[in-house]
Amino acid sequence: MRLTSNGGKGATMMTSKVVVMGWLAAMVALPLARPASAQNVAPCSGDCARLTVGDVTAPSGGTVSVPISFEQAPSDGQTGGPDEIAAIAFSLNIPGDDSHPLRLSDCFFNGNGLPGSVRPDSSLANFRVVVENASCSGGRSHCLCPEEGSGITPDNFINIVVYGPNPLPTPGPGPIEIPVLPSSELMQIDLAVEGSASGTIALHVTNEVTDAERPPNRAFLSIGDREAVDQTCEPVQGTPPCSGDNPVSQIIVEDGSLTVGSACVGDCDGNGAVTVDEIITMVNIALGNVNLSQCTAGDSNQDGQVTVDEIVTSVNNALFGC
C-alpha cells in the first residue's frame, strides 16, 4: 500500500485523468504491494507529520469509539513534502483474543461502501475513505464483516486508505487540484468489546519504524503528498520508498489503547452509575438464573461468578455513586 515515488519534490501538477487515475491506483494498491520485511527506518526527528490513535475505555460486553487523528508537519514553504500530505494508508491492529475479542460493532454497509462502524469526520467531505478488508465478497477468505454462517473469523485489523478529491472532477484543460488532508480528527471507529475479561489492549498501527516484519494481509503505514511523492521516509531519488541507506521516517505514529472493564462494580451498561435493576440482575446471576454476560461488571475479580460481597459493593455504588 505504497504510493509510486518520483524521487523528490517539485513534480509537475497532475493535469490529466490518466495521471489522476494512476495516483488512485497507487493509493488503493493493497498490503502485498510491500514486502513483509521492513527496512531499518529511523524515527522522525525533524518536522514530522503525525498519526494518532486515541486511548479509550469500555466495559466488557460494551462498545467504544476509537478516534483516529492526523496532523500535517509544520509548513516549510515548499511545494509538496510532509506538510502537504494528501493521502494516507495504514493498518490498525485490533488484536482481540478469546477473553476479549474486538469486532466492528456495525457491519451494515452505507452508500459509500463503508461499514457503519467506520465514521469519517465531516472534515473529510472532500475525500474518499476506503476500508480494504471490510467485506468478504468476491471469494475473499478474510475480512472484517464475513457473512453469518461463513465460518470466517472476522479480521483483527483494519486496512484504511484516505485520498481525495471525492468525487473526482471532470478532467479539463487546467490542473486538477489535489486537496491536502486536514490536521484534525479523521474518523471514529466503533468497536464491540466481547468476552468478560479486563485489561488493556494495544491499538497499533503497523509501521516500518517499530515493526521488523509486516503481519500477513496488513500494510506498512504510507503517506503521500499532493505531488504524488511518497513522503513516508525522506525521499531519495531513484530509490524505492524507505529503502535507501539509513532511511528516516517523516511521520510519527502514536498508538492508542483500549482499557477493558468497569471501574464501578454493578454498572452493567457502563454508563457510570448503578441502578436497582442492575442489582437485581446481579442477584439473578448469583442464583444461576441469568448468564454472567448480562452484567460482567458485577464480577469485579473476574472469577466467573457474582458473589454476595460483590452485590454489597454494587448496592453501595448505587447509594453513594461510583
Q: Is 17 helix (H, G, I), strand (E, B) or coil?
A: helix
Check the CA dihedral 286-287-292-295 and report its sign: negative
| Side-chain half-sphere exposure of 149, counting CA atoms within 13 A | 0
Give the DSSP letter of residue 294.
G
Cβ atoms < 10 Å from Cβ of 78: 10
> What does the alpha-carbon distance between residue 66 and residue 55 come to, in Å, rounded to a whole number?
7
220-273 pLDDT, tens digit each: 999 999 999 999 999 988 888 898 888 999 999 999 998 776 668 888 877 778
Model confidence band, residue 5 (pLDDT cutoffs 50, 70, 90):
very low
Average pLDDT over residues 92-117: 84
**Quick one: what percent of the chain has pLDDT higher than 70?**
83
Contact 216, 86 (CB under 8 A): no
pTM for the model stands at 0.75
**The three three-digit cell numbers of residue 164, written as one number:** 481525495
Chain segment 48-90, per-residue pLDDT in tens: 999 999 988 776 677 888 999 999 999 999 999 999 999 999 9
Q: How far apart are CA 72 and CA 223, in angstroms?
A: 11
Whole-angstrom Cα distance, residue 227 to residue 299? 55
pLDDT of residue 3: 41
DSSP 181-236: PPSEEEEEEEEEE-SS--EEEEEEE--TTT-SBPPTT----EEEETTS-B-SB---
Q: What is the mean pLDDT of residues 88-117?
A: 86
Looking at per-residue pLDDT, the higher value among 163 and 197 belongs to 163
More confident residue, 260 or 148: 148
pLDDT tens for residues 232-247? 999 988 888 898 888 9
At residue 164, what is the residue type? G
Q: What angle do CA 312, 59, 186 make, to 5 degrees?
A: 155
Please state the domain extents for the chain: 17-260, 276-320
How far apart are the C-alpha atoms of 93 and 46, rounded to whole Å?
27
Strand 256-260 to strand 55-58: parallel, antiparallel, or no bridges (unpaired)?
Answer: parallel
Mean pLDDT of 266-285: 88
Reply yes or no on domain 17-260 having CATH 1.20.1080.10. Answer: no
pLDDT band of 32, cuts 50, 70, 90: very low
pLDDT at 43: 96
Phi, psi of 51 (to 5 degrees): -115, 130
